[in-house]
Every structure is written in structure tokens, then in C-alpha cells.
Chain A
Amino acid sequence: MKITDIVSETYFSLTANKVRTGLTMLGIVIGIGSVIAMVSVGQGAQSSIESSIQSIGSNLLIVSPGAQRGPGVQVSAGRGTAQTLTQEDANAIIKDVTLAKAVAPEISRRYQITAKGTNTNTQVVGTVSAYPTVRNIEIDTGSFISDQNVKSLSRVTVIGSTVRDDLFGIGSDPIGQAIKINKIEFKVIGVTKSKGGSGFGSSDEMVFVPLSTAQRYLAGDTYVTSISIAAESASAMTAIQQQVKDLLLERHKIQDPTLADFNIINQADIVATASSITGVFTMLLGAIAGISLLVGGIGIMNMMLTTVTERTREIGLRKAIGAKRRDISTQFLVESIMLTFLGGVIGVLFGWGLAWAVTAFAGITTSVSTSSVLLAFGVSAAIGIVFGYYPARRAARLNPIEALRYE
């Protein structure tokens, strides 16, 4: 049989019973559509979580103080509350860990902040000029804290966009104005660009001051809350983590690494953990949708079996006038593949629309990837072959004499 003949015969028999063809196809459309939509929700979640982790800085390592534990009685203060990291530790890292691109020690605490009749309570971060590089912060107006500010203990401050909105009004220009942090006056020299909300402490809600100023006027000591280190590349992160660990263990005179009085958080680890969680989430959604695809496939098989029974006489006739087994099985197989393929095409469009609707109405980020579209096509064609094979084989094996007598 020629391909054009097969296509024409398939078109003829699929259009012969349009309602049934449509309903059967609907099973595949819903199956493929929901796989596309569900996976897009999962992948959208994954990419939004990843980008929100990336937004706090790329290739970032954060050293935070832990609780020192003696070998005897385990008296442990809460993690992160211990004051074990100092300015000198940060300086040593800058000096010795050569792979690090930038190092920014910081001291942060919440304070009451006031400005001409308005006030807010937010995170005040004392840090150095490298901080924007490490934490991916961009300046909207003005400038960030300079090395000179840190050296000279300037009482200057850079405020987040949300803080600016709260204290001075939305969109106003606060450069040169004064705010009071813990009753000490600071001059505003810059506003950071809004990064949007993120679950990891938005820089929009922070107030930045020089590290030295914060230690002198606000904290009153030389400890730091954390040291952020930006690596040159993702591949250097493990090496840097080891170097920092060795350096700090030596500086803190701790022999047993399990008793370290600090923690190093590797951003790659956070990303990997989050990805694995969203990956499972995507799989779960995909699996649920996959069940509906399977049901759709069984629908195809059911219809094809009914068709074979209904068209027994036709099959007998075709065989009597010279159709070989292969001709018959090809015809029925192509019919079912055509059904699932068309269903797949419509299903992809349907799923795409569904993903768009989820984004538009529920505000959930979705992303329809090329791979999931290709996968959906592959799966729908495979369903056509798998579920069409048995009916086609049954049709091809019919005895022409019995088939012609079939009532």
C-alpha cells in the first residue's frame, strides 16, 4: 500500500465517526495537556526557587558562627548566636583564601529606625564595600558604602527601596537626608535597586551602614554576624569551603573539625537541596497526569477493538480483494497513531494554554520546556503504537471467510 493511500484511508475511517473519534482523542488531549501543564507548574516552581536562591548572590559561601562545644559537658548556645567570628577572621580570609573573588563580613541586627515623624523596625547590616558584589545588590541612586567610609567610621547609610518607601514615601529621593538608627543619626547616601521579595531576607528591607561604624556605635564590639564569600566560579566553591574551614579551625585553635564553632553554608548545597525537592514535586505532578494519559491510551485501545469488531466484514472484504496481513495491520496501527498524534498536538496546545492560565489567574510561575513537549509527543505516539498494536494484530489475523460471514 502506498503512504498516500494509507493516509487517505485513515482520514476516511476517522472522519466516518467523528463523535467517537473526537471523544477518544479527548482522552489523549486531557492526558497530554495535564502532563504538560503539571510539569510546567513543577518546573516553574523549580526555576523560581532557584532564581530566588541565586538572587542572594551567585557562587556564595556564608560563614556563620556556631556554638563551641567543649569535650565535657555539652553546653550549647543557639546556633548563630555565639560570637566566635571576628573582623580579624574576615581579614585573614581576604588575605589567605586566594580563590575568593570578594569577601564581605557583616554584622546585622534589628533596630528601630526613625526619620522625620516616620519609623520602622528593620534589619541593619554593617558591612564593607565588597558587599554588593558578593550579594548581587545594585544601587538605584547614590552610591554604596566605600572603603573610605569604613576606614573613617562615617555615619552614612544606604537603604533598601522598601525602607525608603516606608520612611520617605514611595519613589521619593532621600539622598542627603538623615535617619536615626538606635537614636544615632546617619546620612543617607544611596538607595538599592528593588530585587523583589525573596524568602531569604530581602535586601529591599535592609539598611546598610559601614561595618566599623556599626561595631563602634551600634554593637559595641568587633564580632561579626557572618562572612559572605563569593567564589570566582561554581567549581571553585568546594576548594574555597575547605580552605576557609582549615583557616578558621587553625585560627580558632580547634583540632577536631566536628567541634568547629562556625558553620559554612554553601549556596550550591542549598540549590541542590531545593532542586531535589522541586524535582520530586515535578515527578509527582507528572505521575498524576501520567495516569490520565494511561487512561486515555486505554480509551484508544477500547475504541480500536470496537472498530475492529464493527468492521470485521470490511476487513474480510479487504482481505478477499488482495490485502495482506501487513496491509490490514498497518491501516489499523496508523489509525491509532494518527488518533494519538493529533490528540498529542491538541494536548500540547491545551497544556500550554492551561499553563498560561495558571500563571495569569493563580500567579504561579510556570515554564513549558521543549523537553516536556517532545516527551509528550513521544509518549503519545508510543501510546498509539502500544495500544493500537493488539487491535491491529487482531484485525490482521482475521480469517477472510469467517470475517465475510460475520454478522
Chain B
Amino acid sequence: MIECKNITKTYVNGDMETTVLKNVSFTIEDGEYVAIMGPSGSGKSTLMHILGALDSPTSGTYKLDGHDVSKLSDDELADVRKNKIGFVFQSFNLLSRATVLRNVALPLLYSEMPRHTRNEHVEKALISAGLEKERWSHLSNQLSGGQMQRVAIARSLVNNPSIIFADEPTGNLDSKTGEIVLDTFQKLNKNHEHTIVLITHEKYVAEHADRIIHIQDGMIVEDRKNTSKRMTNHTHKE
């Protein structure tokens, strides 16, 4: 569960002070599928960094599953990310010379999980992300964009996080493969009750979520249930 109260983020660059987020408050319950939508420069990325424990707010409190994470040190934040958060990035960020399996297992290196139980988790995550088994031993640079993003989704799932943040996950994909990725998120939300936070600037993409938080100039301008939710009709074939 995410509880944000009066989150403000100010960057100081020389004499210039830029306030990127202004008193942002909202709550996301477990199992929700939320889209944070806003044009570039609206502060949605900064918000995601704070929600994803990559950054700390200048003021305000951020509680993740009841724990205050707004004033933790770098290494404590790393622990929060390791145990509770999964990331999916626009540019996939896979290790190109490593196999799919190695890429997905990467977060487990930093967990306390013993080696022999890792494979099980990796396979489970890959199945959940919907990547065909025959691709698992391929090097990640031999995959298509859609496949790469599904490897990245599997990587974000492998630690069994409570929340997955997807930062413009379809930004580098054509609309057809983008649809497949969005479909994967939908299934994850439906089947496993993962909390998913989608960050995007596209209205079309945001409309796949159950709830849309519209952010502009560092403030929430709209927070509504998505009544006209788009369903993806695709099956998992490419």
C-alpha cells in the first residue's frame, strides 16, 4: 500500500530552485492498477522515482506498506527496492550479452535467496510474463522489443515485489507489441493481484489501467476511476 502525504520535491541548481512536485497526496491500495499520466516535465518521473524508493522527497511523508521510507539512507532505500519493488523501464535495460535466464535472475544476486531455489523463481516469473520457453536460453540481444520487455517484466517479478513500476513500458515499442506488453500487465494484475503503477504520457496507454492519476506542473489535477477501460483482446502470440 502506498500512502503519500504532501510530497514536495525541490531541486537546487546553483541559485535556481525548481519545485517539481508540490504537496502531492494520494493513496494506492494493494492490487490496484494505476496509471500516472502527465506530459513531459509534469513531474511524473520524479514522482515515480520517489514512489520507487530511488529518491527521497524534500518534504512530506511516503509510507510503503506502513513503513516510512521518505527519510532513509541510500543503502536502506536499496533494501526497500530489493524487497518490495520491481521496475520495468522504457529502454528495457537488459544485460545484452547475458541470457534471458541470467537477466531475470539478476535481482536474486542481491537477495539472500540460496542458489538452488533461484531457478524455480526465475521460471515462474518468465511464465507469468508470458515469454515462450524456447527463448529462455537466448541472449537478450537476440530478442525482439516485445520479448525484451517481457524479460524485463519477468525480472521485475522475480523478487515477488508488492508493487511494480512501469516507466513508459511501451515507449520503445510499436503499437502492436505495446498492446501485448500492456496485456501482460493486465493479466498480472488480474491473476496475481500485483499492484501495478504505470507511468505514461499517452492517454491511450493510461486508459488500460483501472484508475488514472493525472499530474500536471507537479500537482495532481485529476484522480479518477477509469470507467472506459480498454481491454486488450490479444492472445499471447507474436
Contacts and interface: CB of A to CB of B under 8 A. Distances in A.
Interface string A306-327: 0000000110111111111111
B6 to A, nearest CB: 22
A9 interface: yes
Given A400-B54, A401-B49, A321 B95 contact: no
Interface in B3-46: none
Contacts of B111: 322
A322 B75 contact: no
Nearest to A323: B110
A404 B93 contact: yes
Interface string B89-107: 1000101011000100011
Contact of B106 (A318, A401, A404): A318
Contact of B93 (A5, A313, A322, A326): A313
Given A320-B81, A322-B79, A401 B55 contact: yes
A401 B82 CA distance: 16
Nearest to B76: A324
A318 B93 CA distance: 10
A327 B87 contact: no
Nearest to B106: A321
A317 B152 CA distance: 11
Contacts of A16: 97
A12 interface: yes
Nearest to B83: A322
Interface in B60-117: 74-75, 78-79, 81-83, 86-87, 89, 93, 95, 97-98, 102, 106-107, 109-111, 115
Nearest to B108: A5
A5 B109 contact: yes
A325 B74 contact: yes
B194 interface: no
B110 A322 contact: yes
A12 B96 CA distance: 12
B74 A322 contact: no
Nearest to A4: B115
Of B79, B83, B95, chain A has the most CB atoms within 10 Å of the CB of B95
A2 B74 contact: no
Nearest to A16: B97
Nearest to A12: B98
Nearest to A320: B87
B54 A327 contact: no
Contacts of B150: none
Nearest to B110: A322
Interface of B: 49, 52, 54-55, 74-75, 78-79, 81-83, 86-87, 89, 93, 95, 97-98, 102, 106-107, 109-111, 115, 155, 159
25 contacts: A2-B115, A5-B109, A12-B102, A16-B97, A318-B110, A320-B54, A321-B81, A321-B82, A321-B159, A322-B81, A322-B83, A322-B110, A322-B159, A323-B110, A324-B75, A324-B78, A324-B79, A324-B110, A325-B74, A325-B75, A325-B78, A327-B110, A401-B49, A401-B55, A404-B93
